[in-house]
Amino acid sequence: MSVDMNSQASDSNEEDFGADIASYYEGVASDVEQQSADSFDPEEYQFTCMTYKESQIMLTEEVNTVAAAMKVLPAVAKLILVHFHWQVSQILDRYKSNSSLLLSDALVQPSSTCRSVTAPQSLQCGVCLQVVRRDSLLALPCQHSFCKACWEQHCTVLVKDGMGVGISCMAQDCSLQMPEDFVLPLLPGEELKDKYRRYLFRDYVESHFQLQLCPGADCPIVIKVQEPRARRVQCSRCSEVFCFKCRQMYHAPTDCATIRKWLTKCADDSETANYISAHTKDCPKCNICIEKNGGCNHMGVFCLLTDFCWMCLGDWKTHGSEYYECSRYKENPDIVNQSQQAQAREALKKYLFYFERWENHNKSLQLEAQTYQRIQEKIQERVMNNLGTWIDWQYLHNAAKLLAKCRYTLQYTYPYAYYMESGPRKKLFEYQQAQLEAEIENLSWKVERADSYERGVVGGEGELSASDRGDLENQMHIAEQRRRTLLKDFHDT
């Protein structure tokens, strides 16, 4: 399996699920000082980033183990391993109990139920029907014989189409797999052979239950885990952050299948939802057009004596200290007894409810990224002017970073809630979601207030008081604990 992986191109065409979240997780947990030493982190996940050479050595060792135990060629052992997802112990156990069944299941040996084919008496190729010399006829263990030229064309076309593992016999209704030592001599030119080796390596890694290729562009790193789960991993070379299980953008607490359904639905219904994607809404009192210019949903305008919520335009005080009514969709219990048109309207109303909140938190992340950038620049300016060290101002940096981390998790709670069945568990989830949202909005409000202080917008330029700083750090701790509690209870384990 000798391959120059520097020339390997990314074969994936994943959608971009959102902004890069790599920096959200770097050093945040250790900076929240109030966390106890034994606090449980539901996102903790052990993984290793391997180079191509390291992963090749690992694969070769497993191939040699299976080949020696089953007394087959390494090329055949690779096909068996791919079929059974490289679970070596299970393969060897099955081989001991019924070796013939295992080989036929892996499509490297004809099954006993298949029509037996004897060695060909005719010198005619079964594809081009040309009469050829006997030494020009080639066959797999199924004994379906074809001329070398037809085999070459068959393999060349499939490899040019990007196929590695999976090239099978040309005979109709025969799925017997072609091992690499059968295919390689049939490929014309070293360039095509190198492509085939790269495709093989890709297929070997993608079929391995403990490995995933980094989805970063032109990145050769392979991620290895002990137990495959839908958890956050990050490439040590290109810093790409993704879900190990589906190789898409990290999406906790929503599982891989659900987030795929949600994103497909969002893409299909994008025109329907366009009208709610604008940044503006009408003031609930004077109907003047207002624009949201920060990440926090806690809004205030001059015409109102009380503040209001951006999402539902209701009085901010009515949201309560812990439970957001506007984050929970109120189902119509009688909808099943109404007309199909009414049910369709209700389904659209429900989707728009969750989509609006999903989109709102995505936009809040973008706005808060601007606040984070301002804080970074202000800290740098103060350090350069000898107005303290980086450590003196790091609490603001940590607060903005943690805010983004918490809001990112909150954004992905809405697809989770949209597809949940009604019942006690959904009520518990909505309660924890609302608690998390309330604490995130409180943290966002405090971070924006701190940013305003630092820019001299509120009460003159200067740092926050010791009590304000303590209040901000305490809010960081509360928000992170809410986030961890929700993930512990609802993230797929």
Q: Which residues are catalytic?
A: 296
Q: In this structure, how many other beta carbons lie within 10 angstroms of the beta carbon of residue 169?
A: 22
Query: Is 253 in contact with 244 (CB distance < 8 Å)?
Result: no
Q: Which residues fall within 8 angstroms of residue 303, CB to CB, at 6 or more apart?
A: 283, 285, 286, 288
β-sheet bridge partners, residue 225: 47
β-sheet bridge partners, residue 147: 137
**What gap in Å lies between CA 230 and CA 245, rounded to an integer?**
5
The single-letter DSSP state of residue 464 is P
Residue 51: phi, psi to the nearest 5?
-75, 170
Q: What is the helix (H) or strand (E) element at residue 273, kind and residue range?
A: helix 270-273
* 3-state SS class at 233: strand
Q: Which residues fall within 8 angstroms of residue 18, CB to CB, at 6 or more apart?
A: 249, 362, 365, 408, 411
* Nearest partner of 327 among 315, 313, 311, 350, judged by Cα: 311
Strand order in the sheet with 222-225: 47-50, 222-225, 211-213
**What gap in Å lies between CA 390 and CA 160, rounded to an integer?**
55
Q: Which residues fall within 8 angstroms of residue 450, CB to CB, at 6 or more apart?
A: 375, 396, 399, 464, 468, 472
> What is the residue-wise DSSP string for 166-177?
B-B-SSTT--PB
